[in-house]
């Protein structure tokens, strides 16, 4: 199994969670990593290097693709890293016969829906910024490779990954480390998947997104941000009326144009 972006926050959690479950774990990042078990194989390169990506995927049965720019940035940077990097992973998976590709998508490709709307994965994208646009392209590439080349692809629309929620928006969007690993495991092992897009979010009482697709994949989240509600100030992003909160503000993108 291969994990890209293995040095990142989610990548580090996935690395620990899968270490005892994968016979051979190839960890990829542009920064240096050190192997922490005999099962780990670390590779340092940029995902824009298509041949290095393909070489890392040789013999792999699955890849969890978490690498890329994780937030708003100039569009050329997002296209170069998130879109081109994902294309290289998918093309490498096609060439090497990888059985399952799990792509890190984002809730922010639907951040312009009102907080009053329950969004499903089938609804049209409404990105809250350029980062969300890049994730629409990531999902489109995944769909293309599933439809045209027969890859089995799962896109996880990741919520707010935090140890605990710290702001109002998180009461709807929080993804706990335990639930994150649950969704990743389900995305790796669910049978008979051609293509699926799933909101990876904890069982938050106030969540914006439908989790039926996640249940169909084989995982039902267990944590609820409501347990932390009394610790979070009443004012915050949720008052903006859009699911993206501050990410949907014009200023959040204008500084990158």
Active site residues: 131
Q: Is 25 helix (H, G, I), strand (E, B) or coil?
A: strand
Q: What does the alpha-carbon distance between residue 15 and residue 8 come to, in Å, rounded to a whole number?
A: 10
Return the number of other C-beta atoms located less than 10 Å from residue 228's C-beta.
16
Count Cα neighbours of 173 within 13 Å in the Cβ-side half-sphere: 23
Name the one residue in this structure whose structure tokens are 């702001």. 167
Return the number of other C-beta atoms located less than 10 Å from residue 152's C-beta.
20
The sign one gets for the Cα dihedral 77, 49, 142, 206 is negative
Q: What does the alpha-carbon distance between residue 174 and residue 166 come to, in Å, rounded to a whole number?
A: 9
């Amino acid at each position: 199994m291969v994990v890209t972006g293995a040095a990142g926050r989610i990548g580090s959690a996935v690395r620990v969670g899968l270490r005892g479950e994968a016979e051979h774990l190839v960890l990829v990042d542009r920064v240096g990593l050190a192997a922490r078990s005999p099962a780990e194989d670390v590779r340092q390169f940029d995902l824009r290097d298509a041949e290095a990506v393909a070489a890392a995927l040789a013999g792999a049965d699955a890849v969890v693709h978490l690498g890329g720019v994780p937030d708003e940035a100039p569009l050329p940077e997002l296209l170069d890293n998130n879109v081109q990097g994902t294309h290289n992973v998918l093309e490498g998976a096609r060439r090497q016969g990888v059985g399952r590709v799990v792509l890190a998508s984002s809730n922010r490709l639907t951040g312009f829906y009102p907080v009053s709307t329950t969004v499903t994965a089938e609804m049209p994208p409404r990105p809250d910024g350029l980062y969300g646009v890049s994730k629409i392209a990531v999902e489109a590439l995944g769909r293309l490779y599933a439809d045209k080349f027969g890859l089995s692809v799962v896109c996880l629309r990741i919520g707010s990954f935090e140890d605990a929620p710290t702001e109002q928006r998180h009461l709807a969007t929080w993804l706990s480390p335990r639930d994150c690993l649950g969704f990743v495991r389900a995305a790796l092992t669910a049978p008979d998947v051609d293509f699926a897009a799933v909101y990876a979010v904890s069982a938050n009482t106030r969540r914006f997104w439908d989790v039926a697709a996640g249940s169909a994949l084989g995982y039902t989240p267990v944590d609820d941000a409501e347990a932390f509600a009394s610790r979070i100030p009443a004012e915050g992003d949720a008052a903006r009326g859009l699911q993206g909160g501050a990410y949907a503000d014009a200023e959040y993108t204008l500084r990158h144009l």
